[in-house]
Structure 1
Amino acid sequence: MIVYEEHWHSTYWGGRWSYVPNRIHYALHRLFTTYDIGISGELNFKQHVGIDFPMFQNKTDLDLYIVVFQTTVTDVYTKGNQIIVVGTPERNGVQVLTVKTGDLHPSDLKKLLLIQLATPLGHELDYSLIVYEPPDFWLKQIQRAHCDVSQIK
């Protein structure tokens, strides 16, 4: 009896869906972060973390999505380039949080945001690094598209 499927191999579809190092990476983490800045990125993100949830593109206020597995979130704190998600570890469950990027005030726009998942006693469970995107991300994309269209005419 064969228990191996060919589509499990890391070369299937160029490794996009089954690249083993990526699968290990996602299996080892409880915390994942993304923005609602494109359908391709959204679909890849949701496929990698294994859950589906609504994402809403707002022209004036960009959302940072924080997906937390196996933790009951109790608080979220922000300061400078750091976001701390506090919660109690659990054996199951998932929560999706949104943070308005307009509510963030990074101290250094050139540095990554550090998002940490920590226990109420301050022990780090996981972390994620992500580039800061300003709240007017979509507005700038629309303006850029209008400029590109006007140059064609």
Structure 2
Amino acid sequence: MARTLRINGQEHVVDAPDEMPLLWVLRDKLAITGTKFGCGVGICGACMVHVDGVPTLSCQLSVADAEGGQITSIEGIEGKVAEAVQGAWRDLDVVQCGYCQPGLIMTAVGLLSTNQKPTDADIDDAISGNICRCATYVRVKAAIHEAAKRMEA
């Protein structure tokens, strides 16, 4: 069935079964590949996108349920929060293998969009749904704190 999705500020008409996960629409039908497949069961966070500004696991959201929402993938994040997070990620050299990083960055942007002064506990809670095989959690936490400082400036 044809569905119209608003992704990264652009409308896309896709022909996909209602139950197809948004993840596969992004990657396979639209070649928006920054959103990663990690587990397919909603426990790793690699497929994180924002829907109406809320971090959402795209492997758990059907294309039918995604229709009508404002979807933002890692390729489409922008603004003060996104710039602060991306800059802190680069400057603190957070990335190791990088596979999980789009999901972690989307999680960080989501957190800092609603909580500009997160505690360690807030960060731990926010990233608890993201698995990093390289265990960059200490650097991720430091980068989120750094991004929060940059947003104050």
TM-score normalized by the length of structure 1: 0.27
Select the structure that is richer in strand: 1
Question: Quick check: which has more Rg, 1 or 2?
Answer: 1
TM-score (norm 2): 0.27
